[in-house]
Each structure stands twice: as C-alpha cells, then as structure tokens.
Amino acid sequence: MTRPVTAPEPRKTPVQRRAVETCAAIVEAAARILEEQGAEAVNTNLIADRAGVSVGTLYQYYPDKHAILVALIRREREVLLAELRAIPHGAEDALREMIAASIRHQFVRPRLASALERIEIGFALDAEAAEMAEAIAGMSASLLARQFGALDRTDLLTAVLIARGLINAAGEGQLPEVGLAERVRNAVEGYLRALTGGA
C-alpha cells in the first residue's frame, strides 16, 4: 500500500535563482495537469513538457514523480498553514475565521485541492510535509478548544473532520459554495453542542 520511502527532496538544493524558478515551474506544471486532467494523467514527460523543460532537467531536481507531488502538497499546505497561523490565537471568533480561511484556500483552486486531498491518502509524505499536516490539524483543534472549552481529543478531531469533509464536498461541487461558511459553522457547532448535552 505505502510505497518505499525515497528521499523526496530535490536532488540539488537549488540555490541559484534560475534553478529555483525551474523547480517552481515543474511543481506548478504538475498542479495544472492534476486539476485539468486528473491524477491518472500526471506523468513526468507531460510535467516536463508543460513546465517548458526536458525530462532530463526535471530529473536533475527531483528523483521521481512522487517527489514532485510531495513538493506540491507541501507548497499548498504552507499557504493554508500560514493563513491559520495568522489568526489571532485568542480571537473572539476564531472558529469563524478558521472556517473562512479553509474555504478560501479550498476555492482558490478547488480541483487542485480536491485532487491533492485524495492523493495524500496512502501516500508517503516526507518528514516536513507530515509535520505540516500535523501542524494544521493541531492548530485547528487548539482554536476550537479555546472557543469551546476543554474537549476530548477525539471530539476535536471529529469537528475538524466534519468541517474538512463539507468544505471538500463543496469544492467538488457536491454542495453550493453559497452559504457554505454558515453551513460548516452550523455543523461544527451543532456537533459540539450536542456533545455537551444541548438537548
């Protein structure tokens, strides 16, 4: 199920500006293929082509396809994580802001977000990417905890899963984007209130 762990880092850590751009172009090409044609269409030849480089060059920077996708996952997570970190931790309505940030992130490139979500499952992430996933979940949970008081770990996780599930479904067109934030909020608050016996 899980693939052998290869070093997913760029082979050369690109220091020169030109090289950094090349790496970025490669990752972005992968992103575009993913959102335009789906996961099955992603292959190294096509990535190189769309990135405007040759396969040879691509393999100078990434040891294999997997590494490129991990880099992409990391790139996307970084954005969301930064947005979540920007939410004042003691904010009055942190939940609302958290939901808003997640929705915003999802809808910038909904097909990409959905595709990555699916890809990630059963995918060996490198240490750094895994850490970021952890950070995002932990951040969400701690924001929730602050607003709703001491809650069981699993209950917090459940709330996060509910939110993520609905936002993702919306990103895939299963739910309307209109009213989504309120819908998610209702779902999360509804669950947490049901827990604390809100008959």
> Nearest-CA neighbor of 32 among 54, 50, 45, 11?
50
Of these, 6, 13, 37, 142, which contacts a second copy (CB under 8 A)?
37
For DNA, give the closer residue by CB, 52 or 173.
52
Of these, 16, 56, 88, 154, which contacts a second copy (CB under 8 A)?
154
Told to check if 1 binds a second copy by CB under 8 A, we report yes
Residue 45 partner contact from DNA, a second copy, none using kind-dependent CB cut-offs of 5 to 8 Å: DNA
With beta carbons less than 8 A apart as the criterion, state whether 47 and 26 touch: yes
Of these, 60, 118, 124, 181, which contacts a second copy (CB under 8 A)?
118
Residue 108 partner contact from a second copy, DNA, none using kind-dependent CB cut-offs of 5 to 8 Å: none
Total residues at the site for a second copy (CB under 8 A)? Answer: 32
Which listed range, 20-28, 51-59, 69-77, 155-163, lies at the site for a second copy (CB under 8 A)?
155-163
